[in-house]
Amino acid sequence: MSVTYNFGFMDEHAKKEVRRSILKAISIPGYQVPYSSREMPMGRGFGTGGLQITLSLIGADETLKVIDQGSDDSVNAVNLRQFVELTCPGVNTTTHLNEATLIQSRHRIPEVPLTPNQTLVLQVPYPDPLVVVEPSEDKRKVMHGEADYARLLVKLYEDIVKFDEITISHRYPTRINGHYVIDPSPIPRWDVPKLHNSPALILFGAGREKKIYAVPPHTKAEPLAFDDVPFRVESFNDAQGNRRPCERCGATDSFLDEYINEDGSKRYQCSDSDYCDTVLAETKEAANA
């Protein structure tokens, strides 16, 4: 027995259905479009929703970048990239953001702003921000339709009462185009402002929960907050209040990963590996010049 696969693994009808759902998602910014998610040969939760979007959109002239936790070389990113290379002969892959036309990512949006020629596909484990206040999907659908997000805001209120601070760390509920509130996938708060008026199309794929949604280019994306308790991104300041630099490239404008040294002390480096490499190369060039 031997098996040959269609370009893009899924059969053409399935890809067409995914594309139709994507069009609908773009037409209604932030609305979770249900679709019949196919089984992919990797686990639900490993990016099957993002992968189906990628495979449905990818053509032979596309250049793909896959990242996980900001890195092109993490196991899952490598796995997904190899799978696309295997099932989409002729497609280029890259680790450089500026070369990519299609970027599939888990948990991060690249530090360098995206361009109108790029599409970002984010992998989503939990598509519905209302699930924390309402377990029934049926009821949540009505709440979304009526833009009824008071119970979500009450959660923020209760947070401030209890902790003097909004404690949502990632998956920060964000209102798109003034109506639907989305779960922007487990990106850190650091990345949420990048959704706002992005020149690039941003697509969200939840394979297990069978939903696709979108933040189209140049669309408003506002994290939920109170007028007097604003949304805040992660702080990378040290005890003296100085911004920590990446210890490798020196950047002070990137999301940092924290590492614990053998002696218990900590060090910090860019989470976006491509960005770190780029800054490092520029610094070396400047030093040589």
Partner 1 sequence: MGYVAIKGGGQAIRGAEDVLEALRASEGMEGAPLSIDAIENQLRLLTSRIVSEGGLYHPKLAALAIKQSQGDTLEAAFALRAYRSTMPRLMETQAQDTSKMRLIRRISSAFKDIPGGQMLGPTYDYALRLMRLDLTDESPEKFRDIARQFLEQTPEPNLPDTFPKVVEALREEGLLPQAEANEALPFDITREPLIFPVPRSAALATMARAETGSLLALAYSNMRGYGDVHPTIAELRVGYLPVMLPHPITGELTEAGEVLMTECEVVAMYEDDSNHGKPTFTLGYGACFGHNEVKAISMAILDRALQKGMKEGASNPSEDPEFVLLHVDGVDSMGFASHYKMPHYVTFQSDMDRLRTTQQKHEDSKNTKMGDAQ
Partner 2 sequence: MRKILEVRNLSKIYGKGCPRCIESTGPEADTNMCPHCGSVVAIHDVSFDLHEGEILGLMGESGSGKSTVVKNLYFDQTPTSGSARFIEEDAKHEMFNLNAAQQRRLRNQRFGMVYQNPHLGLNFGISSGGNIAERLLMSDVSHYGEIRERAKELLSRTEVLLSRMDESPAAFSGGMQQRVQIAKALATNPPLLYLDEVTTGLDLSVQARILDLILEIQQERNTAMIVVTHDLGVIRLLTGRALVMKYGRVIESGLTDQILEDPQHAYTQRLVASAL
The binding site for partner 2 (CB under 8 A) comprises: 142, 145-148, 150-151, 153-154, 157-158, 160-162, 226-229
**CA–CA dist 189, 233 (Å, integer):** 5
By CB under 8 A, what part of segment 195-234 binds partner 1? 208, 210-211, 234
Q: How far is the CA of 217 from the CAs of 130, 162, 194, 242, in angstroms?
A: 24, 37, 11, 34
Stretch that binds partner 1, among 44-52, 96-104, 223-231, 281-289 (CB under 8 A): 44-52
The Cα–Cα gap between 85 and 90 comes to: 8
237 binds, among partner 1, partner 2, none (CB under 5 to 8 A by kind): none
Q: Which of 36, 188, 220 is nearest to 122 (CA)?
A: 188
Smallest gap from residue 196 Cβ to partner 2 (A): 18
- Residue 248: how many other CB atoms lie within 10 Å: 15
88 is known as an active-site residue: no
Surface-to-core class of residue 13, CB atoms within 10 Å of its CB (0-12 exposed, 13-18 middle, 19+ buried): exposed
Mark residue 49 as left, alpha or beta (left: phi above 0; alpha: psi -120 to 50; beta: remaining): alpha
Size of the site for partner 1 (CB under 8 A): 76
How far is the C-alpha of 108 from the C-alpha of 122, rounded, in Å?
Answer: 8
Least Cβ distance, residue 115 to partner 1 (angstroms): 23
| Least distance to partner 2, CB of residue 171, Å | 20
| Residue choice 54, 56, 71, 254 for contact with partner 1 (CB under 8 A) | 71
The verdict on whether 30 is a catalytic residue reads yes
Of the pair 3, 287, the CB lying nearest partner 1 is at 3
How far apart CA 231 and CA 168 sit, in angstroms, is: 10
Compare residues 11 and 282 and give the one whose CB is closer to partner 1.
11
Chosen residue from 65, 144, 175, 189 binding partner 1 by CB under 8 A? 189
Which window, 23-31, 146-154, 164-172, 220-228, contacts partner 1 (CB under 8 A)? 164-172
276 in catalytic set: yes
Q: How far is CA 73 from CA 76, 159, 180, 280, in A?
A: 8, 37, 34, 18
**10 is in the binding site of which of partner 2, partner 1, none (Cβ under 5 to 8 A by kind)?**
partner 1
Can you say whether the dihedral through the CA atoms of 87, 92, 98, 101 is positive or negative?
negative
Residue 174's binding partner out of partner 2, partner 1, none, with CB under 5 to 8 Å set by partner kind: none
Q: Does 174 bind partner 1 (CB under 8 A)?
A: no
Min. distance of Cβ 145 from partner 2 in angstroms? 8
Which is nearer to partner 2, 135 or 264 (by Cβ)? 135
Verify binding: residue 94, partner 1, rule CB under 8 A: no
| Residue 70 in contact with partner 1, rule: CB under 8 A | yes
Rg (CA), the chain: 20
Distance from C-alpha of 288 to C-alpha of 180, rounded to nearest angstrom: 51
- The C-alpha atoms of residue 166 and residue 185 are separated, in whole angstroms, by 18
Active site residues: 30, 246, 249, 270, 276
